[in-house]
């Protein structure tokens, strides 16, 4: 039986981008457990008290229901990325089992995180989608491992564009930033020279 997870930001008591998380949960259940449902809003609010600051809500679910956990969130500083090949990593759905990604992460050397390639194309880091800046415009790979909720939110709001990005293309951009459910688009920006091959 497969289990899946959603990491959802709650900022000053407000659940962030719930629509995009629910859409992904619905698509996942429709693929693996047709006829079942998880209502994120009900699950979160049934267990959520008040709170200040940023809280990470972790929802683990399958076809039989879900578990909800809350923790205070402190972002990890990720300034450098090591490029690694990940041809066998399949993470089109947000599986709770991240063994393949964790194995690839061990190849980061002295870098803070990895940038995973599949068939020469840029995908994601171990924990986030990536966006690259050229002049004033932002682009994200058309070929992510996971179509993240923040990534989709930014695409839907025309804040980033899709692009085919290979390792050769990285040098044509000026900088990058990582985005995920917990890292909004105001996350730190670093020069592409911080990506190591």
Local confidence pLDDT in tens for the 197 residues of the chain? 899 999 999 998 899 999 999 999 999 999 999 999 999 999 998 766 556 789 999 999 999 999 999 999 998 999 999 999 999 999 999 999 999 999 999 999 999 999 999 999 999 999 999 999 999 999 999 999 999 999 999 999 999 999 999 999 999 999 999 999 999 999 999 999 999 99
pLDDT at 52 (0 to 100): 76
- With residue 72 as reference, give the H or E element that holds it: strand 65-72
Report the distance separating Cα 172 and Cα 177, nearest Å. 15
The Cα angle at residue 76 between residues 70 and 81, in degrees rounded to 5: 135
- The pTM (predicted TM-score) of the whole model is 0.94
pLDDT of residue 156: 98
What is 81-196's CATH number, 3.90.79.10, 3.50.50.60, 3.20.10.10, 3.30.70.370?
3.20.10.10
Which residues have a Cβ under 8 Å from the Cβ of 61 and sit 6 or more positions away? 3, 4, 5, 6, 25, 29, 38, 67
Q: How high is the pLDDT of residue 1? A: 80
Structural contact between residues 115 and 103, judged by C-beta atoms closer than 8 angstroms: no
- Cβ contacts of 63-72, under 8 Å, gap ≥ 24: 63/1, 63/29, 63/32, 63/33, 63/36, 64/36, 65/38, 66/38, 68/43, 68/44, 70/10
∠ at Cα 80 (122, 150), nearest 5°? Answer: 55
What is the per-residue pLDDT for 45?
A: 86
CATH 1.10.10.10 fits domain 4-72: no
User: Cα–Cα distance between 109 and 113 in angstroms, integer?
Assistant: 9
Structure tokens at 17: 């981008």
Domain layout of the chain by residue ranges: 4-72, 81-196
CA-to-CA distance for 50 and 17, rounded, in angstroms? Answer: 18
């Amino acid at each position: 039986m497969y289990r899946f997870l959603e990491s959802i930001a709650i900022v000053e008591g407000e659940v962030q981008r719930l629509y995009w998380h629910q859409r992904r949960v619905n698509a996942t259940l429709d693929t693996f457990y047709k006829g079942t449902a998880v209502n994120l809003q009900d699950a979160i609010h049934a267990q959520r008290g008040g709170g200040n600051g940023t809280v990470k809500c972790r929802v683990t679910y399958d076809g039989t229901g879900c578990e909800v956990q809350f923790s205070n969130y402190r972002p990890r500083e990720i300034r450098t990325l090591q490029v690694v090949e990940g041809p066998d990593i399949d993470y089109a759905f947000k599986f709770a089992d991240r063994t393949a990604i964790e194995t690839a992460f061990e190849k980061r050397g002295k870098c803070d995180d990895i940038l995973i390639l599949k068939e020469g194309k840029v995908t994601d880091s171990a924990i986030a989608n990536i966006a690259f800046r050229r002049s004033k415009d932002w682009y994200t790979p058309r070929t992510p491992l996971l179509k993240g909720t923040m990534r989709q939110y930014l695409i839907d709001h025309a804040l980033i564009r899709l692009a085919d990005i290979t390792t050769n293309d990285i040098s044509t951009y000026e900088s990058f930033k990582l985005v995920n459910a917990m890292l909004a688009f105001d996350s730190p920006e670093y020069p592409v020279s911080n990506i190591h091959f």
